[in-house]
Chains A and B, each alone.
Chain A
Amino acid sequence: MANIEDYIPIVGQPIIDDLKLLADRLQGKVIQHINSTAVGGGVAEILHRMVPLLRELGVDTRWDLIKGGEYFFEVTKKFHNALHGRQADITQRDFDIFMETSKKNIDEVNIYGDIIFVHDPQPIALIKKKKDNKWIWRCHIDVSEPNQKVWGFLKNFIVQYNASVFSAPSFSQKLPIRQFLISPSIDPLSDKNRELPQDVIDSVLKKYNIHTDKPIITQISRFDRLKDPLGVIEAYSQVKRYIDCQLILVGGTAADDPEGMSVLEEVKEKAASDPDIHILLLPHSDIEVNALQRVSTVMIQKSLKEGFGLTVAEALWKAKPIVASNVGGIPLQIKHKYSGLLCHSVEGAAFAIKQLLNSPQYAKKLGENGKEHIKNNFLLTRHIRDYMLLFLSLSHSEDLVYL
C-alpha cells in the first residue's frame, strides 16, 4: 500500500504539504465511515485507499460496515435503480424489509466518531443514533431524477443529517441541510492505475487469448443494465461494418448487487456468435483491468445513468481516448471534443468510435488532454483534501473561512 509521500512525484510536494496543514486542524477528531460492503464497487474501493492515507496524515479515521441479508440487498438494489430514475416496483414490504434490517444495525453498530460519514442509502437509518456528533450523508448515486416514492422515504432520514455530499451538480435536490459537491477520485498508485511493465500486459493478453492485430474497443463496468452492455455490443456491431475491430467487455460483480449474473447471461447470449467479442468476468483483478485498459485503442462508457463513472477517470489517466454517455458525473470528466467524446445514443457512440479509430492523432490529443484534467481534478489527493475541508466546514457556516 502506498504512503502519502509516494504521491509527491505525481502531484508535487506542495499539494502534500497542504494536506498536512489541513490534517493538523483535525487533530483529536475521530472520523467514522460506514457503508454496506468491504469489497466491490466504487465506494469500497475509495475507502480502501483513503482510510490508511488519512490515518497516515494523522486524522483518526475508521471504517465500519452494516450487515444485511439477501432480501435487504435486493431491496437496496431496487432503491438504487429507482433513485437512478428506472422503473421499479417498490412496495410497502420493501420498506418494511429495509427497516427491519436497519433496526438490527441501529442496535448493533457501534457509533463512536465525532464525525459519522454514512455512504449511500443502505446505512442511512443509522442517523437515529445521532447525539451531539456531526453526521454526513454521502450519496454516490445519480439522483437527478429520482423515483419520488423512494426519495421521499430516504429524505426523512437525510434531513436529520448535518450535511450531504453529491458527486455532480445535477444531483442536487432541495434540502434543508447543506449540500456539498465532491467528486470521487482514482488512486494513481493503485494496481488498477499504476504503470505496468510490458511483460505483465503481455501475460494478461495471453491469458485471455486477446490479440492486438485489430483495434480494441473496451468497456469496463459491472454487468448492470444501467451500464448498457447490450447497447455497447450494438454500437460495436455498427462500427464493425466499416472497421474490423474487437470488443472487450470486462466486468465484476459487487457483493451488494444481486442482479449482475442475470445481466451477464443476457450479454453472453447477444454476443454468442462473434469471436471478436471477449466477455471477461474479472472480479477484483485490478492489474488485469489495468492491462486491458492500456492495450485498448478506444475506451467506451455507455452508461444510461452513472453516479460518477470512475472508469472514465481510469481510462483518461492512461491517456486513452474515450467515448462516453453524457450522464451523471461523466461530463465533469470529459469536455466534449477536448478530452473525449460525449454521446447520447447507440448510434452516436458508434459514430464517435469510428471517428477516433480513423483519426489516431485526434484520439491521442483527446487522451493527453484528458490525462491532464484527471491529474488536476480527480486524483485521490484532491479527494482527501475535499473530505478534510468538508469535516472542517461542519464547524464553520461562513463562505470565507480563515483557519
Chain B
Amino acid sequence: MPKLIRAKEPFRFYTRLHLSELTGLRVTNLSQLLKAIKEVPGSCIYHHTHRFLQQHQYLSPEPPNDFAFWVSDVLGEDELGEKLASIDTIQFATIRSLREKIAATIEEYLRGNALAKLKFARQGEELHFIKSISFVLPTNYVVYDLKEFRDTVKNITIDSIYFHIFEARLRLEKKDNDFSYWISTSLGNKELADEISKLDPYTYTLESLRQVLIRIIDKRLQD
C-alpha cells in the first residue's frame, strides 16, 4: 500500500438532521401545482425533490421526486410524470434553477395538453406542501488521511453522507460535494475527487452510494 498523504486540513464530518414543517398548502390539479411550485419557499422544493432518497432507501428505482409521483399516480398524467422524474437534478447548482426547470416542464406540458388542467385529485389524495428544516451539526468524527476517511464513511450515518453529497452542493450552493472538495484541496488527489464528483448520486440508494464511495476509495488506496 502506498504511503498515506496526511491532509493539510482535516475533514470533520457533519450530520444533517431534518424536521418536516407542514405549510397547510395543498393542491388538487396541475394549475395549482404550477402556481405553488413558483411561490413556495425553496425548502419546500428541496423537501419534495429529496424526500424519497431518505425515506425509501430500500426501494430502487423510486420516483426521485414527489411531484413526479403525484402527477403520475394521482392525476394519471404519466407522460408529465416521466418528464418530471427524469429531470437531471445533479445538473442544477441551486434550488432556484431546479424550481425553474420543474415549473417550465409543467408549463410546457400544459401548453400541449390543455385538458390535463381539468384533472383533479380525489379528496384525500391532494399534494400537501412540506418544508424541510435542516439542522446541521458537527460530529466527533475527524479524519486526516484517506484510510481514516474510508473507515469513517463505512460507519457514519446515512444523514452525514447525505449532507456532504446532496445538501452541501445544492442547498448550500457549493460548487462540488464536500468529499471531492477536501480530497482535492487537502489531499491533493484530484483524480479521486473528480471520480466522486462524476457520480450521479440521485441514481443510487443512499446505502449503495456509501458502498460505491468505499469501493472507489479502496481502489485508490490499493493503487
Contact = CB atoms under 8 A, between A and B. Distances in A.
Contact of A386 (B19, B22, B23, B124): B19
Contact of B22 (A22, A180, A390, A401): A180
B24 interface: yes
Given A144-B124, A174-B24, A175-B24, A403 B137 contact: yes
A103 B155 CA distance: 53
Contacts of B172: 400
Contact of B21 (A170, A180, A338, A372): A180
Contacts of A392: 135
Interface stretch (A13-21, A229-237, A307-315): A13-21
B15 A21 contact: yes
A105 to B, nearest CB: 28
Contacts of B124: 144, 170, 326-327
Given A21-B139, A403-B136, A14 B156 contact: yes
Contacts of B54: 376
B86 interface: no
Contact of A393 (B19, B155, B160): B19
B171 interface: yes
B57 A376 contact: yes
Interface string A210-241: 00000000000000000000000000000000
Nearest to B42: A399
Interface in B51-70: 54-59
A173 B128 CA distance: 11
Nearest to A369: B58
B160 A14 contact: yes
A400 B171 CA distance: 9
A335 interface: yes
Interface residues of A, number: 42
Interface string A1-40: 0000000000011110110011001000000000000000
A402 interface: yes
Range class of the B interface residue count: 35 or more
A18 B21 contact: no
A22 to B, nearest CB: 7
A336 B159 CA distance: 26
A149 interface: no
Contact of B17 (A170, A172, A335, A389): A389
B20 A181 contact: yes
A247 to B, nearest CB: 28
B21 A169 contact: no
Given A14-B155, A21-B15, A170-B124, A393 B133 contact: yes
Interface string B9-52: 00000010111111110100000000000000111000000000
Interface centre among B41, B137, B140, B171 (most CB of A within 10 A): B137
Nearest to A163: B21
A218 to B, nearest CB: 25
A181 B136 contact: no
Contacts of A335: 56, 59
Contacts of B128: 169-170, 172
Nearest to A382: B17
A13 B155 contact: yes
B130 interface: yes
Contact of A399 (B15, B26, B55, B132): B132
A181 B56 contact: no
Contacts of A385: 17
A397 to B, nearest CB: 10
Contacts of B130: 169, 181
A401 B24 contact: no
Given A335-B59, A399-B133, A401-B135, A181 B24 contact: no
Contact of A373 (B22, B58, B139, B159): B58
A178 interface: yes
A160 interface: no
A179 interface: yes
B185 interface: no
A73 interface: no
Given A18-B15, A372-B58, A179 B21 contact: yes
A166 interface: yes
B50 to A, nearest CB: 13
B208 to A, nearest CB: 14
Contacts of A400: 43, 133-134, 136, 171-172
B157 interface: yes
A162 interface: no
B176 interface: no
A372 B60 CA distance: 13
Contacts of B160: 14
A174 B22 CA distance: 10
Which 5 pairs show the lowest CB-CB distances between chains A and B?
A169-B128, A172-B22, A181-B20, A179-B22, A399-B43
5 contacts: A15-B157, A21-B15, A376-B57, A389-B133, A399-B133
Given A169-B128, A376-B55, A403-B136, 5 more contacts: A18-B139, A170-B124, A376-B57, A399-B41, A400-B171
